[in-house]
Amino acid sequence: MADQEFEVVAKLRIRQAKIEDAKDLQTYCFPAQDLEMVTQSLTADLEQAESKDVVRLVADASGHAVGQIRIERKSSESTIGHLGDLLVSSPFRVFGISGKLIEMADKVAYENGLSQLQIELPQSETAIIEAYERWGFTLHPVVILQKETRPYDEVQSDDKEA
């Protein structure tokens, strides 16, 4: 049998998520999570969407949510949108869907009064950092200091010894 070539055409639409997307999101973006967990997370985001504190966009390929991104405003006064959960099902990544989601996230953020988008990533994620730089993000060095918490009684006894 001879090889045959076919042209495959699908429509991609970036739109706000809806509760009916839970099954597709679980299948294509969150396969390690069960449907109930994905549905709960999506429901929580949709409830916050009315106040524009959270916007979840999906990449809809011919009726199936095959990718998504989440924008969160941490406080009502903030003009910074925090990006998270940029996920695209692996067979669809070659079509540049991540870039389209970022493009639409930028537009939606601006329309919702946000002046900046940011994402926090570990330094070890060089490929992801480079992708965000291609999408127009700039790297800002940040120092993170952490301290383990202890019960109050231990803190008092340590202070007495000093």
Domains identified in the chain, total number: 1
Q: What is the C-alpha separation between 42 and 20, in angstroms, rounded? A: 10
pLDDT at 152: 79
In a domain, 2, yes or no: no
pLDDT tens per residue across span 92-144: 999 999 999 999 999 999 999 999 999 999 889 999 999 999 999 999 887 88
In a domain, 60, yes or no: yes
Cα 123 off chain centre by: 18
Q: Which domain holds residue 84?
A: 12-161
In a domain, 53, yes or no: yes
Amino acid identity of residue 110, one-letter, is Y
DSSP string, 29-96: T-TTS-HHHHHHHHHHHHHHHTTTSEEEEEEEETTEEEEEEEEEESSTT--EEEEEEEEE-GGGGGGT
Give this prediction's pTM.
Answer: 0.82
**pLDDT category, 2, cuts 50, 70, 90?**
confident
Are 128 and 121 in contact by the 8 Å Cβ rule? The answer is: yes
Q: What is the C-alpha separation between 132 and 99, in angstroms, rounded? A: 9
pLDDT tens per residue across span 51-74: 889 999 999 999 999 999 999 999
Span 81-98, mean pLDDT?
94
